[in-house]
Each structure stands twice: as structure tokens, then as C-alpha cells.
Amino acid sequence: MKIGLNATCFNARPSGAKQRFNGIYGELVKRLPETTFVVYEPVDWRGGKWFDGAANVSVRQTPLPSSGRVRRFVKGFRYWREALSQERFDFFEVANLPLVKAPNGKTLLTIHDIRGIRRESEIVERAAYRVFLERSLMAADHVITVSEAIKNEILNLYPGVPISVIHNGLDALKYDEVLQTDMSEVRRKYSLPEEFVLAVGHFEKRKNYLRLVEAIALLRDRGRPCRLVIVGNNSGELKQVWNLVESKRLSGYVTLLNELSDLEVCCVYKLCSLFVFPSTYEGFGIPILEAMAAKCPMVLSDIPVFREITQDKGVYFPHGDVDLMAMAIDKVLSSNGERARLVEYGNERVRDFSFQILAGQVEHLYRSFF
């Protein structure tokens, strides 16, 4: 087989999509040594370095920028027509919209979520996204998505789309390799308390951090004070979150961290007392896997994909209800037995999301076309 991988949407910014691409296709390259892989990287990021040393991988640097969906598509119109006409791929994998369709072989499209058509987006952005989404779904030979929840969202809007679910994954072993000295250094560097609640994810509206801060304030007012640490890069809402922290007089209770290394994030997970994920919408939720691998108990907003990942065996709260969010946090922090149950379950469940298993599912999908 010969497989093309369009990695032009990835750059230095951390993302679940990039982690998935690196993990699954890194394993697939090893799993299929007789298959030729061609990785197309953007002009501003060496994505092909993930596969350095693999004899069956070649890299093509494109003139395309990694950011700006429309700009990348317009700039790539002529490039892709010429580049793909010179290749005969069995499969061409695309990880972003709008879809670039290969003239030969099957074009596979991976979709992580469809939040672009939700009301949180501007009306013009929603309209443009819907056009890109519909045309891409109709043009793709097969669609891969990361959860049954997103599959159902897509099929509710576009019945009949050929679609498979292959979850996101995680290298859980790296959490077992974290040293006590690393954890001690991270605690010292960021002045982390002995006990704290942790949230991880970029600062954006759908992460629901404003409600989480309100829940921490409510717990303090009820005589159950706890410290909160949020780790994430700014995607537009960092200032609003900090303004609320100050208005609630929580500056001594809340720490906001960004630009941490992968090792530092692993350490913060392992140091926390409880992980909380209050999002209003997710396509998947990789931080759940990270918390499982770090042996953290967790409480989650009650959205379909979180129940899917945790098989209805977690502790959940309605994401819009601050009181119930606070109660869920208090419930788990107050119960050694509940924390032990959640840790034991997570330690077993995270094994289902190994990149080796997921790469096998992708290979099975490839072979189903022959």
C-alpha cells in the first residue's frame, strides 16, 4: 500500500488532534513496514520529524501555512492539484476541513468535532463551516471520527455518511516513568499546594472555567475551601477567568498556568487530589485519559462523550449547575472509597486507548476496502 498523510494543519501548538496523529500513525508506520507513507507538512512546522528514522516514510514540505483554514485551502488549491496528480495513493488521509480529495485511491477524512456549527460561533462562521462540512462529508470516501457521540451528531445532520469510530489514544506508560524528583521540582517551581483540584484545557468558553471558579467560591463559602489549578494556553478567555477569580476574592485559592512542558503537565496530574472536567462540549476528552493514566480520581460534566469514555462509571454533574458541580467535587474529595474506586477503574479503562490498539483499528479499516 501507499498512504498519503496530510499533516499541514499541525504546528507547535498542543492539540488532541496532533497527539492522535503522532500516536496512531507512529504505530502504524511500524506496524506496516512494507507500506509507503508520504507525510505532507506545512511550511512553518516540521511535522515529519515525528517519523525520523522510519525507512518507509518520506516527507514533503508544502508552501501551506498551518493556521488559517480558508487561507490554507485557497493557497493549496493549485499545490494539491499538482502534487496529488503525481502520486497514486491507495489512501489519502485528511485531518482538517475543507477536504482535499485525492484523484486516485480513497480519501479518508478524520473529524474530531463539529462545534463550528454550534450557536457559540458567529453566524457567518457557522454558515461557512456548514458549507465546508457538508461538501467535505459528501466528497470523502469514508469518514473517521473520535467518538460515538460525534458520529451520532454527524449522522443526525447527514444520514448515510459512511463513518467509523476510532477513539483518541494515549501513551499511558509515560506517566509511570515520571520521577519523584520531577514532581518535587514542579511543585516547587509553580508553588503548588499539597492538595488541589486540577483542570486541564485551553482557556476558551466551552471549557466552562467560569462556572468552575464559581463552584470553588461556593465551596469556600460553605466552609469546604479547596485550591484550584488550571493548566492551559489562552484561547481567548484567560482574562475573563482571572477577572472572575479576583472579583470572587479567590486569588489565594486559584492558580492559572500556561506554556508547561509535557513532563510538567504529567507531574501536575500526578500531584493533584482530584481532576475536574467541566466542559459544555467536547468531541472526545483526552484529559480524561491523562487523568486515568496518572491515577487521578475525577468528576466530569454530564455530556454524552464523557459517559462514553468512562462507560457511565464516573461521577458527573450538569455543566450549567454550579451547586451540583460543587457537590460532586466535595463528594469525591470527602470519600477515600470513591476516590479509590475511580482510580482503579481508570487504571483499567485507559488500556483500551493504547495507540497500538487504535493503529490496529486503522489497519483493519484500510483492509476492509480490498
For the chain, the first-to-last Cα distance in angstroms comes to 11
Q: What is the pLDDT of residue 328?
A: 98
Q: What is the pLDDT of residue 118?
A: 81
HSE-CB of 186 using CA atoms within 13 angstroms: 23
Residue 117 Cα distances to 61, 123, 164, angstroms: 32, 9, 21
Cell of 127: 454558515
Domain 2-169+354-368: which topology?
Answer: Rossmann fold (3.40.50)
Alpha helices in the chain (DSSP H): 16-31, 69-85, 123-139, 148-157, 173-176, 180-189, 209-221, 238-247, 262-271, 286-293, 304-310, 322-333, 336-349, 355-368
Residue 278 Cα distances to 3, 254, 304, angstroms: 38, 16, 13
- Residue intervals of the chain classified under CATH 3.40.50.2000 are 2-169+354-368, 173-351
Q: What is the pLDDT of residue 14?
A: 81
Q: What is the pLDDT of residue 13?
A: 83
Closest CA relative to residue 2, chosen from 364, 366, 355, 357: 366
Which CATH number applies to 173-351?
3.40.50.2000
Low-confidence ranges of the chain (pLDDT < 50): none
Q: What is the pLDDT of residue 82?
A: 93
Mutual orientation of helices 336-349 and 286-293 as an angle, nearest 10°?
110
Q: How far is CA 63 from the centre of its chain?
A: 26
Entry field: residues in the chain: 370
Q: What is the pLDDT of residue 120?
A: 67
Q: Is 3 helix (H, G, I), strand (E, B) or coil?
A: strand
Write the single-letter amino acid at 176: D
Q: What is the pLDDT of residue 355?
A: 97
Spatial strand order in the sheet of 274-277? 254-257, 228-231, 197-200, 274-277, 298-301, 316-317
Closest CA relative to residue 41, chosen from 62, 69, 58: 62
Residue with cell 458567529: 122
Q: Is 325 helix (H, G, I), strand (E, B) or coil?
A: helix
pTM of structure: 0.95
